[in-house]
Amino acid sequence: MDDSGNFKLLGGSSILWESFKDPADTVLPSQILDKGVALSSRQSETNFSKGRFQMVLQSDGDLVLATVNLPSKHVNDPYYKSGTAGDPNSSSPGLQLVFNESGYLFVSRENEERSVLTPTITVSAKDFYYRATLDFDGVFTLYSHPKASTGKIASWTALWSEPDNICTAAPVGASSGVCGFNSICSLNAEKRPSCGCPRGYTLIDPSNQYGNCKPNFTQNCEQEPAPAEDLYEFEELTNVDWPLADYALLEPFTEDQCRESCLHDCRCAVAIFRLGDKCWKKKLPLSNGRLDPGLDGGKALLKVRKGGRPPFCPSFPNQETQKNKNKETLILALSALGGSVFLNFILISVTCLGFYCIYQKKHKPLPVNEVIVETNLRSFTYKELVDATNEFKEELGRGAFGIVYKGTLQMSYVTQVAVKRLINTLVQGYHDKEFKTEVNVIGQTHHRNLVRLLGFCDDGDNRLLVYEYLSNGSLASFLFGGSRPSWSQRIQIALGIARGLLYLHEECSTQI
């Protein structure tokens, strides 16, 4: 290693490799970067693997900063340009990025002109070390460090950086931007980007402040359990925008009209109201989020679940601490289960068990005419279900409480369903209001490990439940069929059932 900091591997009298020609995230005085030689940021302050930002002198002579879509090598459009690309009518293109021994950074052009990037240096190269680093937050920064010891712990001091405000730099398509998706970038006191999730959202990886945020609730375009006004509210954020996520521009619109339109649009995650009469509706994922004072009071109306609660089922903060820890551990272990093929087998099993638990309990009866309003479940006649199942022709499975048949219904669209017919001996003495009360409770449960209840039949002595149809069959047929699952698969199934039970016993608004 020579005095400039260039580390060289020699073979005889020739240089086989040198760090100045293959840089990581930093350039040092006397180092020159040719066209196509890139700096890559690290992933975080403590993770030195390649990160999401890159600096390179392009073939056209422009020095640019851009994001990279990891784990691929795809480089997005630049969020910063030095403006040194060649213009046939005025100047020659940039040729090299030079960091001279005096601490100045400049782009040398083909005609030997210089485009200086750094301002006048206020500290002497005789007394200070210099380095220029593409930091993990995407800012290219010139630092200095005193050479002489002063008795105090010295640190690197930032002298210059580019861009001035990376949060408001040019938005980048096909990328989350400086921060993760659904996040907001703002400049902190040190003029560095700080990323954060808005209310109602949390980091997917809590250890990565600059990562993606996810909503703590689910908004879908299927029938919700209550009117939108009862489920959602708006978090008002001044001078906040996600520039590239809009799918509709409405004008002229008042702010109230903008709110109302987003509230009743299942695709709308946020509405931006600016310029007095313009309303931009945006959908997830939200990219390039930023706090931008230049928006002059524009409002982001972020749609969130009322009270910050998860969908359909409020949390219960008064649970014992140990129960909360157990719940968090269980959910962490099962977070990958949602996409598993075994989920379909878990759903019917857990729901049937949940209905059995409800059946064993007595609820205060509700007025009959309230049931449909509260749950949005459809009430079927016995004849409708006889016709739907072709007179209960195709049996899907049976248990201690009933037999499940396959059926086809014409609802808002033609759909296959599973119709559970309760055994007559069990429903004797089972009063109309009690049955509807329990259906009402099940109708308010919404969980990925519970099969969805679509409707019911309370016609004379006939008690039937109509569920969504899951094509993979019953749990019993999977466990005891010709191809037996492995031990690890059985553990996944058991944990999935446990997760559904945890929801029924501790998380639902009406705990079972």
Residue 105 CA to residue 294 CA, distance in Å, equals 29
291 and 332 assigned to the same domain: no
| SS3 (DSSP) at 140 | strand
Q: Which residue has the higher pLDDT, 291 or 444?
A: 291
Residue 176 included in any domain: no
Domain boundary among 254, 279, 308: 308
Phi and psi angles of residue 93, each rounded to the nearest 5 degrees, phi first = -75, 160
Instruction: Give yes or no for a contact between 352 and 401, defined as CB atoms under 8 angstroms apart.
Output: yes
pLDDT at residue 500 in the model? 78
pLDDT for 480 beyond 70: yes
Whether 428 is in a domain gets the answer yes
Q: Give domain status of residue 209, yes or no.
A: yes
286 with 356, same domain? no
Residues 93 and 211 both lie in one domain = no
HEC letters along 27-70:
ECCCEEEECCCEEEEECCCCCCCEEEEEEEECCCCCEEEEEEEC
Residue 8 in any domain: the answer is no
**At CB < 8 A and 24+ separation, what contacts does 482-491 make?**
485/342, 489/342
Task: Please indicate, yes or no, whether residues 356 and 297 belong to a single structural domain of this protein.
Answer: no
pLDDT at residue 436 tops 60: yes
Residue 158, class by beta-carbon neighbours within 10 Å (0-12 exposed, 13-18 middle, 19+ buried)? middle
Dihedral, CA of residue 175, residue 69, residue 332 and residue 201, to nearest 10: -20
Same domain (yes/no): 301, 412: no
Average pLDDT (55-61) is: 94
Within a domain: residue 175?
no
Name the DSSP letter for residue 166: G
- Return the minimum-mean-pLDDT range out of 315-324, 374-383, 438-447: 315-324
356 and 457 co-located in one domain = yes
Q: Which carries the bigger pLDDT value, residue 145 or residue 318?
A: 145
pLDDT per position as a tens digit, 331-386: 433 343 444 444 444 555 555 555 445 444 433 333 333 334 344 678 889 999 99
| Residue 433 banded pLDDT, cuts 50, 70, 90 | low
Whether residues 188 and 101 share a domain: the answer is no
Instruction: Please state which of the ranges 39-48, 370-379, 435-444 shows the lowest mean pLDDT.
Output: 370-379
Q: What's the chain's Rg over C-alpha atoms?
A: 31
Q: How many CB atoms lie within 10 A of CB 412?
A: 7
CB-based burial, 477-486: b 16+ in 10 Å, e otherwise: ebeeeeeebe
Q: 396 and 295, same structural domain?
A: no
Q: What whole-number percentage of the chain has pLDDT above 90?
A: 41
What pLDDT shows up at residue 491? Answer: 86
CA distance 19 to 21: 5
Give Cα separations from 395 to 201, 292, 407, 477, 483 (angstroms): 43, 61, 10, 13, 21
User: Is the pLDDT score of 19 beyond 70?
Assistant: yes
The pLDDT value recorded for residue 379 is 84
Q: What is the pLDDT of residue 295?
A: 87
- Same domain assignment for residues 50 and 137: yes
**3-state SS class at 103:** coil
Strand order in the sheet with 290-291: 193-196, 184-187, 290-291, 240-241
What is the pLDDT averaged over residues 172-178? Answer: 84
Q: Which of 165, 157, 149, 106 is nearest to 131 (CA)?
A: 157
The pair of structure tokens assigned to 129 is 């070390």
Q: Annotate 273-290 with b (16+ C-beta within 10 A) or e (fewer).
A: bbeeeebbbbbbbbbbbb
The SS3 of residue 126 is coil
Q: What is the pLDDT of residue 90?
A: 60
Structure-token pair, residue 406: 């396959």
Q: Is 90 exceeded by the pLDDT of residue 240? A: yes
Average pLDDT, the chain: 80
Residue range 40-69: mean pLDDT, rounded: 93
The torsion of the CA quartet 378, 384, 388, 394, rounded to 10 degrees, works out to 100
Expressed as residue numbers, the domain containing 278 is: 184-308
282 is in an annotated binding site: no
> What CATH number does residue 53 fall under?
2.90.10.10
Q: Is the pTM of this model over 0.85?
A: no
pLDDT at 316: 31
Q: pLDDT-based confidence at 207, cuts 50/70/90?
A: confident
How many other β-carbons are positioned within 10 Å of the β-carbon of residue 356? 13
